[in-house]
Structure 1
């Protein structure tokens, strides 16, 4: 069975623990519950299925039943908090604590690089900008960015991108992009990407007044939809993203980094159809 530090879903960890025990002995959810001190014979199966959450107290019981000790038990507790949280701040705090525990004990949290990449606009922008400026130092790159960023921040961002495999150092201050993609758990990425969307939306707002109409393109429409139309429009936007990526991939004369935002969101509540007598 994998180390607990390789998990970001405590429900999956419960399932894998059960499967591992079943490889060597007769073991079931009923037995698992009994060992953890639960009277309900299917409580942990319901937790695994997402019908119930583990509480702080119960997570300690389960951790000890699985033989987790000290920092492993604390990691599991944070894993439960992360999995149960609906608030982004709570999720990010739990993930940060998981990273701290793992780091202190020379382990790796698989969402760490993904979370940091989406932490700020600087990471995706510098990933695009650095290959365009071979031989440039961090201060020169910083001066080309429309949003303020210090030379020290640029240096830190490049170090991260190289170490995480998003950029490859070809020579002195010469970088190329790799095919490395940003991966991580659905929960961690959704929290991180929401933060990125907020930051990029703020940049778009400033762009309205910062650039002339020749330098930026803004448009929008307000429409009435139902669930079917909504899904079709989402598919159109996704297809547009793929087509833009294809255009960029075929372009060999890149000289600027731009951001494309698509926003499609409700501006009213769903209106219930009134039945007339």
Structure 2
């Protein structure tokens, strides 16, 4: 099945596949034989959710916050990766591969673009010696600051917890950027790749929390609902049971999509 290349993460996935000419990437599907998956949503064909994709288009003159994913090696290839969901929902999401020895020029250009105020999203307790902020009041409309002219750009380190810590420590181009430390009271509901620490969130959950902090509640709620639907369908596929399109998550996603269409 051909690969879709209509957003940053899917393009990064296609590039990773092309570069891996020696087929050295690890097996990312469990079991034998290799599972056939939809090239667009990464689910098996019987559980495809392409028809549920809730892309949020930008209204003329709208200047919302945005997300940039800095992805560990092979992360874009994992069927359970949730950074892909962010790019599905937010059309201007950026994605770059991380390497300790080189930096993609496009990432450096993005960080230097004066329209953005970048924030590295990372737990403050691991950011000793860095500028740490916990809220964005000074960067939102109505703030008495020149920074109000800039759009928040949330830099998410997409990988396992150990990979994210390595990226945080060994990326000097991020060292002088403020660190946004989320103070979420909720526990993670992500069920596909469970962290040993309940306060660790998956990438899509982190993005939703950031969007809510930036005042875009509709985008945050849509991303949360989309993650819930993806998780339910992914697990249903693994258990060989049909997807339940009438469950609470599907209903909430459709209701949020209807709200967006009414605003467009």
Q: Which has the higher strand share?
A: 2
Larger radius of gyration: 1
Q: Which has the higher contact order (CA 8 A, sep 6+)?
A: 2
Shorter-chain TM-score bucket reads under 0.3
Q: Which has the higher helix share?
A: 1
Instruction: Give the TM-score normalised by structure 2.
Output: 0.21
Instruction: Give the TM-score normalised by structure 1.
Output: 0.21
